[in-house]
Structure 1
Amino acid sequence: MSQPLPEAPSVQLKGKGVFLDPLSGSQALRWLLAAFAGFVAGQLFSTGLVTLMAAIKGQSSQLSSLAHSTSPPEWYILSSLFGLWAGFLGAAWAVVHIGRAPRHTLGIRFSSWDLLGIPIGIGAQILIGLMYLPFRSHLKDFDAPITKLTGSSHGVGYFVIIVCTLVLAPIVEEIFFRGVLFRSLAGFSSLVKTLMGKRIILVLAVLFDGLLFGVVHGELIQLPGLALFGALLAVLFYRTGRLGLSIVTHIAFNSLAIISYTSSSGTLFGWH
């Protein structure tokens, strides 16, 4: 009686850094649920913090108008950001502590090579700006997102918002969207045994991560550009196996947008 042939071992993608130790299917699902919970919690924290600050400022009756304002006050912007980021970082905390995953699995590491993110981020900002250039005259309130962020701020408040936009936002968003969300999406490749199947899941993970990154920013006009940039950041994370390069790229990208907007009319780069 012939013996059954042994099952062929599952091939692995040639990842680097944290991707040398891919998540299992069950781990990927838990991380994805943590990302979803973190996003929902961020929305709730943001709403709660804004409501609390409005009560302190005596502006509770104006919350509806402030939410639709083109230039809300500094306290509104900062409360919204810090509440949202609390949820994002909560998701990262959950996968590390509740999921008992070592901290390095998030990929929060840096190298001198990550400085390459400066020209990459600047180049991405220029290319995406050029992509929008033919449509600028047909798009209403094209600079509305960045105007809403900085329009009514001044002095210390303006400085704090700029620091949040240029430094804190890239760090927190990369930890959440790439370190947790993309890591979970890419982890589903472990459920497939063929190399082609794993590659397809990885490509879908890059595209889906970029799309969600764009959607969460809540700006329909800027969605294509943000989705492309989010996908680029996911590729950088996967290629290096650490978040350092994507964080520096994100900082450079945001920096050029802010510099262009504050120094001129933002003709080329102020597209978000």
Structure 2
Amino acid sequence: MSRRPNPAAEGLGTAGPPFGGPGRSDVEVRQLGAMAPTQRVVLAIVGFIGGVLAASALAGLVVSSTGWELSVPASIGSELGRTVRQVGQAAPLDDHRVPAAWLAVVNAPLWLGLAGAPLLARRAGLSWRRDLGWGMSAIDIPVGLALGVTTQFVLIPLYEVIFLFFGEQDVSGPARSLVASVDSPLDLLGLLVITVVMAPLTEEIAYRGLLFGGIRDMERGHVGSGVVIAAVVSSVIFAASHFQLIQFPGLFVFGLVAVTAFHRTGRLATAIWAHVGFNLTTVVLLLWA
């Protein structure tokens, strides 16, 4: 059954101040004892791949040990059909979803890969303040939250246009399934840890701090287009890394918003708070519904 776009479905301006000072060649960077841009890009990719592989292995272990399922449809029709089938078979009424608290545990290796790799890389010369724009101002909170919430609602007309050409899709399915895994206060805590704490923090470190910053510095010779190239490439990778084709356009747009916030302020915190607002809108609206 198709569904209309819902703001809960979604999970460049001029160049701003540089994060790490004027662009330097990889040789100059190494002479300064810092981490080269290419190394930062590789670090982001390796951290993501390693995190995904480790999280997948842990998920497989949890599923095989408990009988839970990672992917359970959460539409009204799916829920009703499963309930009728279980009643007819005199089986316990159980959706077999992995509880949200356990999903937080399963995702821990991914977060460790995204943020743990740059933490270890400090020994190799990676400076979080210089290379990742690590820092925060009080204004980052309201500005970031406003950007994230607004982006959710801006995506509604975007998906209306997409559906005109490709037909309606259940955009909110993955997010609705995640919220449906909440059955206890501990699960609610797990959901919040996943969506509004760890995902914004670790993904912004990896995709905006390491990946965008690294590509931007690699393209330092192309003053204007280098920023655009870095923004587009990092946003494409960010959207693709969620493995949800229908959510790709929305995630790509949000990636551009987060990049812009980061680039204009020079602080990663602006993008992190935008990510919090973006995800929190999803959680609040789906829990309310």
TM-score, normalization: structure 1? Answer: 0.79
Kindly indicate whether residue 137 of structure 2 is the aligned counterpart of residue 111 of structure 1: yes
1:31 and 1:95 in contact (8 A); partners too:
no
What per-residue deviation string (whole Å, max 9, x for no partner) do you get for residues 74-133 of structure 1? 265224321211111133224322x21223122221101112112221111110123224
Q: Distance in 2 between matches of 1:248 and 1:23?
A: 30
2:15 and 2:263 in contact (8 A); partners too:
no
Q: Distance in 1 between matches of 2:259 and 2:278?
A: 15
1:118 and 1:252 in contact (8 A); partners too:
yes
Which runs of structure 2 are paired with 1:13-162 in the superposition (5 Å)?
15-16=16-17, 18-22=19-23, 24-25=25-26, 27-54=36-63, 57-59=65-67, 66-70=69-73, 72-74=97-99, 77-97=103-123, 99-105=124-130, 106-114=132-140, 115-133=142-160, 138-155=167-184, 156-162=186-192
1:88 and 1:176 in contact (8 A); partners too:
yes
2:40 and 2:210 in contact (8 A); partners too:
yes
| Residues 39 and 48 of structure 1, relative CA distance in 2, 3 Å threshold | same
Q: Please name the residue that 2:285 is paired with.
A: 260
The 4+ residue runs of structure 1 with deviation greater than 6 A are: none
Q: Please name the residue that 1:250 is paired with.
A: 275
Moved more, 142-151 or 37-46: 142-151
Q: Please name the residue that 2:78 is paired with.
A: none
Deviation at 1:19, TM superposition (A): 3.8
1:186 to 216, 222, 229: 216
Q: Please name the residue that 1:269 is paired with.
A: none
- State the SS of the aligned residue for 1:20: coil
Q: Distance in 2 between matches of 1:253 and 1:111?
A: 19
What per-residue deviation string (whole Å, max 9, x for no partner) do you get for residues 123-165 of structure 1? 1111012322455693233211102222122111122212321
1:166 to 154, 177, 196: 196
Q: Please name the residue that 2:8 is paired with.
A: none
Q: For residue 146 of structure 2, what is the amino acid of its counterpart?
A: P
Q: Please name the residue that 1:223 is paired with.
A: 248
| Higher relative contact order, structure no. (Cα contacts within 8 Å, ≥ 6 residues apart) | 2
What per-residue deviation string (whole Å, max 9, x for no partner) do you get for residues 5-30 of structure 1? xxxxxxxx965252424464461111
Q: Distance in 2 between matches of 1:79 and 1:45?
A: 12
Q: Distance in 1 between matches of 2:17 and 2:149?
A: 25
Q: Please name the residue that 2:262 is paired with.
A: 237
Q: How many residues align?
A: 240
What per-residue deviation string (whole Å, max 9, x for no partner) do you get for residues 24-64 of structure 1? 44611111111111011111210222233345x443xx6xx
Q: For residue 29 of structure 1, what is the amino acid of its counterpart?
A: T
| Residues 122 and 240 of structure 1, relative CA distance in 2, 3 Å threshold | same
1:50 and 1:80 in contact (8 A); partners too:
yes
| Residues 85 and 69 of structure 1, relative CA distance in 2, 3 Å threshold | same
Q: Which consecutive residues of structure 2, in runs of 5 or more, have no partner in the other structure?
A: 1-13, 28-35, 75-96
- State the SS of the aligned residue for 1:130: helix
Deviation at 1:216, TM superposition (A): 0.5
Q: Distance in 1 between matches of 2:109 and 2:152?
A: 27
| Residues 144 and 32 of structure 1, relative CA distance in 2, 3 Å threshold | same
Q: For residue 246 of structure 1, what is the amino acid of its counterpart?
A: A
- State the SS of the aligned residue for 2:200: helix
What per-residue deviation string (whole Å, max 9, x for no partner) do you get for residues 148-187 of structure 1? 2221221111222123211221111111111111111111
Q: Distance in 2 between matches of 1:240 and 1:228?
A: 19
Deviation at 1:246, TM superposition (A): 0.7
TM-score, normalization: structure 2? Answer: 0.75
